[in-house]
Amino acid sequence: MRVKPIDGYIALTKPRITWLILMSTGVGYFFGLKRNWNGLHDWLLLLNTLIGTGLIASGTAALNQWYEREGDCLMRRTAGRPLPSGKMSANHALWFGIALSVTGFGALAIGVNKLSGILGALTLLAYLFIYTPLKTRSHLSTVIGAVPGAMPPLIGYAASNGALTAEAWTLFAILFVWQFPHFLAIAWMYREDYARAGIRMLPVVEPDGLSTARQIVLYASTLIPVSLFPALLGMSGKIYLAGALGLGMWFLYTGVRVAMDRSNVRARQVLLASVIYLPMIYGLKELARGGVAPVPIGALAGVRVQRIVCTAEHEAGEQIVAVAVVGEGAGLADEGPDHMPIVDTMLAAAEQPRHRQQVRRGPIDLQCFGMHADE
């Protein structure tokens, strides 16, 4: 059956990889949002962020295939791609990739903010001009390639926040470490293909697989403490902490099995676990994060306080002090949409080593926080 031209262009964008990139970008966006969701404005900003990032990712994938078209002819797993199969000319792929990349950069730099545009451009440049040429020279290319591979959450975070904080780099670190077991498993499964194309992946350089297995176990082990950073930074709660530990141990278990039995079957199990792990860990982050974005405590400046409501609760041995400030002024809207007072709630974990405080703002009822409205 004849392949339609549009199918070739779609294949150049690597849709299965692009959706993971967009998922990581979206997670970064929501964690970078330090204010209440602003309806249509935030939907449009998120949409621009995803479109811009998706276009840059798709353009990078197309340009990468244009660069590696000769090597792709030598590998069974890539011989059916549009360029090595002859379904598309090299010039068409080149200009298609350039057009997508330039449009994506414009969507981020103009439609979102300069920082997200710069991060998108750096991702493309690092991937195409450092990582891709290095693949035929050193197995350390995997380390270099993990840097642009971990940039999507930074782009999303920068889009909504305008800056990169420790939270943003935490998301970067998780994705950075996750890539090693993922790609080393792929490299072991297709080591013969990579060898034919002259790509110096670790299983090609050391074909006995010992180093590959050790690194899979090493990085899967490292991912466990790294994945706990969001809980330590107050980005997520106990649900995330327990879930991240469980997922990390399961991921490590698949790595240990491939170390004990260096077979394609075990490597494929690591690959499958990695593909399941990433959306699961992202889902846990959002689930444990809650639906109301924290805003700086400085948002209370200029507020004329009408009343203060305090309660203290114990949750799993940890004292949580909740303070609700009801008022009006520079930091608060006078009325909610249904004439409910705007409530700013400060939560302080009183017995933690570092007293964290954050303010949650929204047209909400005190009982939503399990508090008593006794003055």
Residue 56 has pLDDT above 80, yes or no: yes
- pLDDT over threshold 60, residue 332: no
CB 90 within 8 A of CB 66: yes
pLDDT at 374 over 60: no
**273-301 b/e (C-beta count within 10 Å ≥ 16 → b):** bbeebbebbbebbeebbeeebbbeeebbe
Q: Are 84 and 73 in contact (CB under 8 A)?
A: yes
Q: State the pLDDT confidence band at 36, using cuts at 50, 70 and 90.
A: confident
Evaluate if residue 348 carries a pLDDT over 50. Answer: no
pLDDT cut 70: percent of the chain above it: 75
More reliable by pLDDT, 375 or 255: 255
From the CB of residue 39, how many other CB atoms can be counted at a distance below 10 Å? 8
pLDDT at 123: 97
Q: Of the candidates 85, 93, 252, 285, which has an alpha carbon nearest to the alpha carbon of residue 180?
A: 252
pLDDT band at 286; cut points 50, 70, 90: confident
> Given this model, what pLDDT does residue 4 score?
59
CB-CB contact of 289 with 31 (8 Å): yes
Range 307-327 average pLDDT: 39
Rounded to whole angstroms, the Cα distance separating 375 from 367 reads: 14
Q: Which of 123-127, 267-271, 283-287 has the lowest mean pLDDT?
A: 283-287
By mean pLDDT, which of 47-61, 170-184, 195-209 is the weakest? 195-209
Structure pTM?
Answer: 0.76
Count of CB atoms situated within 10 Å of the CB of 314: 9
Q: Encode pLDDT of 110-166 as tens digits.
A: 999 999 999 999 999 999 999 999 999 999 999 999 999 999 999 999 999 999 999
Q: Which residue has the higher pLDDT, 146 or 328?
A: 146
Instruction: Answer whether residue 178 shows pLDDT above 60.
Output: yes
Beta strands in the chain (DSSP E): 294-295, 303-315, 318-329, 343-349, 357-362
How many whole angstroms separate alpha carbon 270 and alpha carbon 145? 19
The contacts of residue 246 (CB under 8 Å, 6+ apart) are: none
| pLDDT for residue 299 | 38
At 310, is the pLDDT very low, low, confident or very high (cuts 50, 70, 90)?
A: very low
| Per-residue pLDDT, 7 | 87
Mean pLDDT of 349-372: 35
- Average pLDDT across the chain, whole number: 80
